[in-house]
């Protein structure tokens, strides 16, 4: 019996920890609304070193639970206790849905207890929820020894959400379809970003709906990735990349959050090479020429938003790490 004197302690429960990055969109072209409510996209994603972690340990068969670690709130308050309080921990959480989907599709009876350390802003336009789903897929696939390969994981990821497949692969990638089809767009170099995290999230469906309202009656072209952007990436040229940053959701995000326009202007006035709303916002990202320049731009923005995070990209997608 355990606990008896001289008894060898039971080995610690095997656990798996996966680190997963936030994403930004270097360009995000959005087509007209489709009959299913989604929009065709042509986007370039980049994964940056602002990470969530999902740790999983075995649970009784069929049981998938999620708890939030409250000891990590992100650098300088990227995630507040109030943000965490808003996050569901039941099947409304995409990470729980990801684990359940993997169990269903592989037929495993195993269960898992998920613990989520958040530093990616909640409802910030950086795919935090999608990242957690990608991390849960990778972590449970290892924990349960279900051994799905990359392609099968990608298929499950696409069922969970448009950004989830990118969160698995990371790096820099072109996203098409509704964002779920990803192809690497690697180029040389590392980019230095200043991430300005503002209070109050924006609803992604709400921002898409607002974009549709703003563009009602306009001929919306099929979305494409701007050639200037792919050229800049191929050349590894931050100045050209800064000029090419683009986001079709930006006017909608700004109309819902007019304060973001000032933030973008302030970043440019601080010498950023480019400034753009990240995805559906409200997080804004600013490109700097190097690490020192990023610190300068970050210092210039410090009083203008809730938290400033200096990040580099590209970085790999969801990966098993030491806990
Ligand atoms: O795919 P995901 O669940 O992350 O999408 C969240 C919401 O964003 C969708 O419900 C939809 O309103 C909007 N969306 C869209 N077109 C896309 C991707 C997302 O309209 N390509």
Whether the ω angle into residue 70 lies within 30 degrees of 0, i.e. cis, is no
**CB of 60 shorter than 6 A to ligand 1:** no
Q: In this structure, are strands 246-247 and 16-33 parallel, antiparallel, or unpaired?
A: parallel
Q: Which atom of ligand 1 is nearest to the CA of 129?
A: 4
**CB of 30 shorter than 6 A to ligand 1:** no
Q: Is 152 a catalytic residue?
A: no
> How large a percentage of the chain has pLDDT more than 90?
87
Give 205 Cα–ligand 1 centroid separation in angstroms: 6
Nearest CA among 263, 185, 220 for reference residue 29: 220
The DSSP-derived string for 228-252 is HHHHHHHHT-HHHHHHH-EETTHHH
pLDDT band at 186 (very low <50, low <70, confident <90, very high): confident
**CB of 278 shorter than 6 A to ligand 1:** no
How far is it, in rounded angstroms, from Cα 237 to Cα 34?
A: 35
| Predicted pLDDT at 73 | 58
How far is it, in rounded angstroms, from Cα 226 to Cα 245?
A: 9
Which residue has its alpha carbon closest to ligand 1 atom 10?
205
**Average pLDDT rounded to a whole number, residues 305-319:** 96
Residues 18-66: tens digit of each pLDDT: 999 999 999 999 999 999 999 999 999 999 999 999 999 999 999 999 9
Backbone angles phi, psi at 111, to 5 degrees: -120, 170
Is the model's pLDDT at 6 over the cut of 90?
Answer: no
Give 178 Cα–ligand 1 centroid separation in angstroms: 8
Please identify which of the residues 152, 163, 248, 290 carries the catalytic annotation: 163
Residue for token digits 């995409």?
94
How far is it, in rounded angstroms, from Cα 232 to Cα 219?
A: 28
Q: Which atom of ligand 1 is nearest to the CA of 161?
A: 1
| Predicted pLDDT at 75 | 58
pTM strictly above 0.85? yes
**CB of 25 shorter than 6 A to ligand 1:** no
| Predicted pLDDT at 123 | 87
User: In testing the pocket of ligand 1, which one of 33, 162, 176 has its CB within 8 Å of the most ligand atoms?
Assistant: 162
């Amino acid at each position: 019996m355990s606990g008896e004197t001289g008894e060898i302690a039971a080995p610690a429960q095997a656990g798996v920890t996966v680190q997963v990055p936030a994403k930004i969109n270097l360009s995000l072209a959005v087509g007209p609304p489709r009959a299913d409510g989604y929009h065709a996209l042509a986007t370039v994603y980049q994964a940056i070193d602002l990470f969530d972690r999902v740790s999983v340990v075995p649970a009784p068969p069929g049981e998938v639970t999620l708890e939030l670690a409250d000891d990590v709130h992100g650098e300088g308050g990227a995630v507040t206790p109030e943000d965490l309080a808003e996050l569901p921990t039941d099947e409304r959480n995409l990470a729980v849905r990801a684990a359940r989907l993997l169990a269903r599709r592989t037929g495993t009876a195993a269960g898992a207890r998920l613990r989520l350390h958040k530093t990616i802003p909640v409802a910030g336009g950086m795919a935090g929820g999608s990242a957690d789903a990608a991390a849960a897929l990778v972590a449970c696939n290892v924990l349960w020894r279900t051994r799905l390969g990359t392609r099968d994981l990608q298929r499950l990821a696409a069922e969970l959400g448009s950004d989830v497949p990118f969160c698995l692969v990371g790096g820099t990638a072109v996203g098409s379809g509704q964002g779920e089809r990803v192809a690497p767009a690697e180029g040389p170099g590392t980019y230095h970003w200043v991430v300005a995290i503002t209070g109050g999230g924006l609803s992604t469906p709400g921002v898409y709906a607002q974009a549709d309202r703003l563009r009602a009656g306009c001929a919306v072209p099929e979305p494409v990735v701007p050639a200037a952007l792919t050229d800049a990436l191929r050349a590894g040229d931050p100045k050209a990349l800064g000029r090419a940053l683009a986001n079709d959701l930006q006017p909608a995000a700004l109309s819902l959050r007019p304060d973001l326009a000032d933030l973008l202007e302030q970043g440019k006035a601080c010498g950023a090479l480019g400034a753009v709303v990240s995805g559906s916002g409200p997080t804004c990202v600013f490109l700097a020429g190097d690490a020192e320049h990023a610190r300068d731009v970050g210092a210039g923005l410090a009083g203008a938003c809730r938290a400033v995070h200096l990040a580099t990209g590209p970085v790999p997608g969801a990966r098993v790490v030491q806990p």
